[in-house]
Chain A
Amino acid sequence: MRLPLLALLARGPAHGYELKQGLEQLLGSAYPQPNVGQIYVTLGRLEKSGLIEGEEIAQSNRPNKKIYRLTDAGREALHVWFEDPTDEPRVRDEFFMKLALAPASGMADQITLINKQRRQYLNTLRDLSKLAAAEDRDNRISQLLIEGAMLHLQADLDWLERCQEELE
């Protein structure tokens, strides 16, 4: 969450709660929101590493609030983030290892493993469809997030099908 928070601060100084709201607005209700505590912890770390700096603002009747702004180092880190392509998603290595090791262990059947895994993916795919239908249609970022998750699961299901063809 470090770099998304830096990116939100690129548009101007803000305090922790504003950043949480900014994230919510952008990503929609589909995205599991980090709690405000996580955000404050991350902001503390970013400040310690010199990527942002905080300024205490005194408030009457309330505890001080801290406004954060991006430092030059922070801006540079953000440049690098946008510049570099992102790592590929990992193949399901945990499931793959189960599949690969099942016969040798004598403790599990490969086809049973595949069937179980397929059920789980299908159920999640179904839940994602429902979520997409419930989510604001005009929030394109949020819809694209759900769409991306569905396409990944579809690919995983296609791969399970290939496994089953080969191993059955």
Chain B
Amino acid sequence: MSDAARSSVVPSSGAASSDAPSAGASDAAAAPPVLRAEGLVKTYRGEGAPAHAVRGVDLVVRPGEFVAITGPSGAGKSTLLHLLGGLQRPDSGSIWLDGTRVDGHSEAGWAVLRRRRIGVVFQFFNLVSNLTVADNIELPALLAGSNARQARAERHRLLTELGLEGKERSMPGELSGGEQQRVALARALVNHPGLLLADEPTGSLDSKGTREVMRLLSRFHQRGQAILLVTHDHRLASAADRVISFFDGRVADDAVLGAKTGGGRGVAGVLELKD
């Protein structure tokens, strides 16, 4: 049995795990998942009692799928994302990217993965403050082996796409939060990674910046970008195909959106003004 076939029958952990995600399942089932994790565990041991941040998580993200993880702060959702991006190491468990096992990779190996296969955006943008917008975006392209002309062309394409023409020479500190996050998105996507990881990407933005980032994530997703998003913002999460509810280090629910749940008053009922 291939990895892909097996992973599609591995149940998610948690009490109330659900129907398997179906978005694009027929195409996606043939290709390996962009991301698969099994049995991830991470415990922080400091002073006092150990904190069980991630306690046995299985997860599959298929090509082109947009998955959101929501939950209260402290539930361990950011830790989970960091484990999946190699920014932190699990105590135990396995991770596959595009069917290749990667949890044994060294720091350097993960750095290469994050350059080529995984793009990451963070709450606080993490742009290089003393590089221009253009250099922030071109640098990872150059590091991944693009020549200067390709890197420039790709940077130009992304900045236009993200509505940031004319900001090439700006320094990150001169931009609004929403603009900085768009630059961070450009940087994350410049090498066409199979998977975009987004850790509370709207957590430090105002409502306008939030809507903008939400719109852009949806647009990239519509073009086939697989996205794994961690957010406490349910509205942002509702843009995804699948919403995983994370509580106390575990998957409490894994819900496919868009399939009619039946019942409920739906949009009309919610909007209706009562007399």
Interface residues of A (CB under 8 A from B): 1-4, 30-32, 111-112, 115-116, 118-129, 131, 145-146, 149-150, 152-154, 157-158, 161-162, 164-165, 168
Q: Which has the most chain A C-beta neighbours within 10 Å: B235, B237, B268, B270?
A: B270
List B contacts of A158 (CB < 8 A).
234
The chain B residue sitting closest to A132, CB to CB, is B211
Does A123 lie within 8 Å of B258, measured CB to CB?
Answer: yes
- Per the CB 8 Å criterion, the residue count for chain B at the interface is 32
Can you list 20 pairs linking A and B with CB atoms under 8 Å apart?
A1-B273, A31-B272, A112-B15, A115-B16, A115-B253, A119-B253, A119-B257, A122-B237, A123-B238, A124-B267, A126-B239, A145-B271, A146-B271, A149-B267, A149-B270, A154-B233, A158-B234, A164-B245, A165-B72, A168-B247
Cβ of A146: which chain B residues have Cβ within 8 Å of it?
271
Say if the beta carbon of B266 comes within 8 Å of chain A: yes
Contacts A32-B272, A127-B267 given; indicate if A115 touches B245 (C-beta within 8 A): yes
Interface status of B163 (Cβ within 8 A of chain A): no
- Given the interface contacts A115-B255, A127-B266, A165-B247, does A32 sit within 8 Å of B239 by beta carbon? no
Q: Is the CB of A128 within 8 A of B252?
A: no
Contact A126 B275 (CB under 8 A): no
CB-CB < 8 A to B2: which residues of A?
none
Alpha-carbon distance between A95 and B66 when the two chains are bound, in angstroms: 29
* Shortest 7 CB-CB contacts between residues of A and residues of B: A125-B238, A157-B234, A32-B268, A115-B253, A126-B238, A119-B255, A149-B270
Q: Is B209 an interface residue when CB atoms closer than 8 A count as contact?
A: no
Q: Are B267 and A122 in contact (CB under 8 A)?
A: no
| CB-contact partner of A129 in B238, B252, B266, B270, under 8 A | B238
Set of chain A residues within 8 Å of B239, measured between Cβ atoms? 126, 129
Interface residue ranges, B against A (CB under 8 Å): 15-16, 70-72, 233-235, 237-239, 243, 245, 247-248, 252-253, 255, 257-258, 260-261, 263-264, 266-268, 270-273, 275
A35 to B15, CA, bound (A): 45
Q: Is the interface of A mostly helix, strand, loop or mixed?
A: helix
Which one of B247, B258, B263, B273 contacts A126 once the chains associate, using CB atoms below 8 Å?
A: B258
State which of A1, A123, A168 has its C-beta within 8 Å of the C-beta of B257.
A123
Distance in angstroms from B257 CB to nearest chain A CB is: 5
Q: By the criterion CB–CB under 8 Å, are A30 and B275 in contact?
A: no
What residues on B are CB-neighbors of A111 within 8 Å? 15-16, 252
One of A124, A126, A165 near B264 (C-beta < 8 A): A124
Given contacts A123-B261, A125-B234, A126-B257, A31 and B271 within 8 Å (CB-CB): yes
- Given the contacts A161-B72, A168-B252, A122 and B257 also touching, CB distance less than 8 Å: yes
CB nearest to B255 among chain A residues: A119
A42 nearest CB neighbor, chain B only: B275
Chain B residues lying within 8 Å of A152, measured Cβ to Cβ, are 270
What CA separation (Å) do A1 and B70 show in the bound complex? 38
Note all chain B residues with C-beta closer than 8 A to A30. 271
Residues of chain A within 8 A of B70, CB atoms compared = 161
What residues on A are CB-neighbors of B243 within 8 Å?
A: 122
Contact B234 A164 (CB under 8 A): no
Nearest residue in A to B235 (C-beta to C-beta)?
A154
Which A residues are in CB contact (< 8 Å) with B271?
Answer: 30-32, 145-146, 149
